[in-house]
Amino acid sequence: MKLNLVPARTGSAWVKLGIRTFFRQPLALAGLFFMFMAVMTVASQLPYIGVALAMLLLPAGTLGLMAATREANDGRFPMPRFLLTAFSAGRPQARAMLVLGALYALGFLVAMGASWLVDGGDFARLYLGGETPTRELMLESDFQAAMWVFISLHLPLSLLFWHAPALVHWHGMSPLKSLFFSGVACLRNFWAFAVFGLTWLALLVAVVIGVTTLAALLGNPGLAGDLLFPILLLTASMFFTSLYFTFRDSFEPPPEAPV
């Protein structure tokens, strides 16, 4: 397995490839993303273990969407079975993916717990959907400090797991080895990932401004709320579609890559 170093402009190319591939199979890829979100939402609602279970399944779900993207990029229609890609390659890889998910859940809970210690759990409850955001809450210094504590811990966690599910599945790596190479790949291609993230952020801002401006021009402010949520979900689906290309270009493909 060899790491590829890519120029910064590749970051914007990943975004374009993700959007272009999404529109090759929009119904299939959007449908798979909504199924993925539904499973995560239902899992997170379970008492006591919900959040940990959802985080446990996140790497496997991300891999499923990447496998579906590869299928769409090759000109084929991705079926719902692709969401189960992580568990269809044999027991050893399924076990490795569950270990990876457990490690991610542990890291997420540590980051969330650290934020809880700062503000008594206000940020955690808001992040997990258990509290309604208010202007007063979001302006509190403890809340903002807790938010930055969570971000500072969750960002490196995300980089460690960025490529890890794909490395476990397509390169047969162990969970710990996949985390190491994922982190190295993100650091070595830092500028490409910076451009990738900033491009998606700019597109997100443009979507919000576009929808709210359209609603204002039509004299119907409530229209923004009706349109914004589904459009943001579709944008998130395109973002997940683009993840496959960040992996594909960062590593040389294995001799025989399983579906």
* Structure-derived torsion over alpha carbons of residues 20, 21, 26, 29, reported in degrees to the nearest 10: -140
Tell me the pLDDT tens digit for each residue of 177-222: 999 999 999 999 999 999 999 999 999 999 999 988 988 888 887 7
The reported pLDDT for the residue numbered 130 is 67
pLDDT bin (cut points 50, 70, 90) of residue 254 is low
Q: Where are the alpha helices (DSSP H) in the chain?
A: 10-24, 26-44, 50-73, 91-119, 122-127, 135-139, 141-162, 164-170, 175-188, 190-217, 221-250
CA distance 237 to 230: 11
In the prediction, which pLDDT does 222 show? 79
For residue range 29-66, list pLDDT tens digits in order.
999 999 999 999 999 989 889 999 999 999 999 999 99
pLDDT-derived band at 243 (thresholds 50, 70, 90) equals very high
pLDDT of residue 135: 78
Q: Identify the pLDDT of residue 256.
A: 52
Output the DSSP codes for 127-157: HTTSS---HHHHH-HHHHHHHHHHHHHHHHH
pLDDT at 214: 87
